[in-house]
Structure formats: C-alpha cells, structure tokens
Amino acid sequence: MIPAKFSIGIALILVLWILVLLATMASSVVMTARTDMALVRNHSAAARLRAATEAATTIVAFRLQSQAPEDHWLPNGATHLWSFDGQDLEISLYNEGSLIDLNGASQETLVKLFQAVELPLLTAQELAGAIIDWRDMDDIANTPGAETSEYKAAGRSYGSKNANFDSIAELRLVLGFNPEIISLISTALTTHGTGDTVLLDYAPPLVQTALGTNDFLTSPNQQQQQQGFSADTVNLGGPIYRIQVRSTSGGPMQKLIFRLGGSMGANYTIIERD
C-alpha cells in the first residue's frame, strides 16, 4: 500500500504537470491567434494596396490620354504623391519603350548594358550570347553563348528555351546568370519593349549610360520633365507603361504593366502584375 505522503506528492506532481500543459496550450493558442491576426492584417494591407494600384492606374491612364498637356504625367520615374482610401502613396510611371527589350535587343546592346554595370567585356559577351541563344529558334550556340549542349554539360536538367522570355525573372534559368547579376540589370529591362529601339527621353539612368548618353533629360521642357509634368504636347512613348505604387511609410511595392485602351470602353488593359 502506498504511504499517504507519497500519494499526496504524486497528486501534486500531476497537478503541476496539468498546469504546465494548460499553460503551454494557452500560449500556443495565443501565438496562433497572433499569427492569424498578422496574416489577416498583411492580407488586408496587400488587398488595399492592390486596389489603390488599380485606382491609380485608372487615373494615370486618363492623364496619359488627356488632350490637355497639363494633365500629363511624364513616364520618367518621377515620384507623385497621391492619397486613396486613407493611404498616402508614392506613384511612379515608366514607359516600357524606354527600357531595353529582353526579347528584341541586339547582342551589341546587351553587351553595352552589362558593361554599364561594370562587368568585364568577356563576361558581358558571354551573358549577352546566352540571352540570344535562350530566345532564338535554333540550337546553334553563339560564340560565346549557350545552347542545349552547354546546359547539359553544366549539369542542368533542361536546355535553352528557343522562345521569347515571358518575364525578367526567367533570366535566373539562363546559363551564367545569378541573383546578383539580375538585380544589377533588372531595372533597365522589359519584355514589353519595341525591339532594339529605345525612347531615350524617359529612359532610366542605367539605360542612358548603356546606350551612350548621360543626358537623362533632353527635352526643351527640361524643368517640367524634372517635376514629372509636361507643359507642351510631347511624345510620351507607349502604348505600354509600368506603374509602381507603394505607401509613403514604406512596405511592399505593387507593380503593374498596362496598355492604353481596352475592350468595352476601358482606358487601359492590364498585361502583367506582380
């Protein structure tokens, strides 16, 4: 028979164990609730930013199509402040025709871009050749370049795509590229450009440097362009533009690429969103 004092001791241990278990469960429930609340807040914030971006795109598309020059926002990346649904936002507008077209740029243009970020000439030539080989329809490697045989030799389970890029992010699959190189050049690239032709008036500085000019503003309306507005009718490029929206307090950025015009009277059509 178990002595009474041992029975009391065992009972106390069981009570303590149950209390610890209940405290652990309560803590887990609180942490789960906090996590769920954070996810809800993040989802809500993302949804609000998405709605704000679409509203901003509607306004920007109207301005681009307006017959009144004072309405225009130039697609030169200038920051515009705007409020929507209680949010203070920063909006930037870019013309995709002022970026280097990943699907249409010549090998020479691509080499210039890589040299503009200070990569050695041989590396620049290899990367440019790999881009050309990825998108062209044949399986004959450039010199230098990379077709299917080079991918297999490098241990890749795939070969060159032999088709156009669907996005800038696709560069991560191309032989010779890594996240660091992609981050250096991504702001200068588009998959919605106009071949090897670039409208330099609104090109970002990296594109200006790569293509041989540091004159970011070459229009007679230089002061207005610096402010992001046009005083006279100017060539705004297009018809494809990129809008970037983020809160003035920081946080994630919403990007949207759109084409002016659309079906059923819409003033723009969304092409890509991230």
Rounded CA-CA distance 136/48 in Å is 41
Residue 242: pLDDT band (50, 70, 90) is very high
* Percent of the chain topping pLDDT 70: 80
For the ranges 37-41, 66-70, 219-223, 258-262, the lowest mean pLDDT is seen at 219-223
Residue 233 has what pLDDT?
Answer: 44
Q: State the pLDDT at residue 213.
A: 62
Per-residue model confidence as pLDDT tens digits over 29-85 = 656 556 545 444 556 778 888 888 888 898 888 888 887 777 888 888 888 998 988
The pLDDT of 136-142, averaged and rounded, is 86
| Euclidean distance between the first and the last CA atom of the chain, given in angstroms as a whole number | 73
* Alpha helices (runs of H) in 186-261, residue ranges in sequence order: 205-210, 222-227
Domain segments of the chain as ranges: 43-99+198-274
DSSP state of 81: E
Give the pLDDT confidence score for residue 191 in this predicted structure: 94
Alpha-helix residue ranges (DSSP H) falling in 96-197: 107-116, 121-135, 148-153, 179-185
pLDDT score at 263: 66
pLDDT in tens, 162-175: 999 999 999 999 99
Instruction: Give me the residues paired with residue 90 across strands.
Output: 81, 246
Cβ-in-10-Å burial (0-12, 13-18, 19+) of 115 comes to middle
Provide the percentage of residues in the chain whose pLDDT is more than 90: 39
Lowest pLDDT segment from 100-104, 149-153, 198-202: 198-202
Residues 95 and 248: their CA atoms lie apart, in Å, by: 22
Mean pLDDT of the 108-118 span: 96
> Which of the pair, 10 or 121, is modelled with greater confidence?
121
Q: Rounded mean pLDDT of the chain?
A: 81
Q: What was the pLDDT predicted at 170?
A: 96
Give pLDDT, residue 165: 96
Q: Please give the pLDDT value at position 217.
A: 38
Burial of 8 (0-12, 13-18, 19+ CB in 10 A): exposed
- When comparing pLDDT for 193 and 41, which is higher? 193
Q: Which of 25-34, 51-60, 105-114, 115-124 is the least confident region? A: 25-34
The gap from C-alpha 99 to its chain's centroid, in whole angstroms, comes to 13
Confidence of residue 111 (pLDDT cuts 50, 70, 90): very high
Residue 33 confidence (pLDDT): 52
